[in-house]
């Protein structure tokens, strides 16, 4: 029994978490430009599917697209959608 408590105490005594992974990368400027064009409805149809495929792989870029849409809506005088009726 003492050994179980020693293991638990040793675990709790560790000061920092051990986390491994890779940093989320920001999209290159060319992709950012495509996100802006996509939000404006100006991205050529031939490039849309490739961008959607890139977003499927890099889901952390989706909020950037949402930000572009929100910026356009605020510039147009439309309040941001809060999701509430």
- Give the tens place of pLDDT for each residue, 15-69: 655 555 666 788 999 999 999 999 999 999 999 999 999 999 999 999 999 999 9
pTM for the model: 0.62
Domains in the chain: boundaries: 26-79
Q: Has residue 9 got a pLDDT over 80?
A: no
Cβ atoms < 10 Å from Cβ of 54: 14
pLDDT surpasses 50 at 1: no
Cα(81)–Cα(35) distance, rounded to whole angstroms? 19
């Amino acid at each position: 029994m003492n050994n179980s408590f020693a293991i638990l105490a040793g675990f709790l005594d560790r000061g920092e978490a051990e986390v491994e992974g890779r940093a989320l990368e920001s999209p290159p400027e060319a992709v950012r430009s495509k996100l802006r064009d996509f939000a404006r409805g100006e991205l050529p149809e031939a490039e849309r599917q490739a961008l959607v495929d890139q977003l499927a792989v890099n889901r952390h870029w989706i909020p950037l697209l949402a930000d572009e849409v929100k910026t356009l809506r605020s510039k147009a005088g439309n309040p941001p959608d809060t999701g509430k009726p």
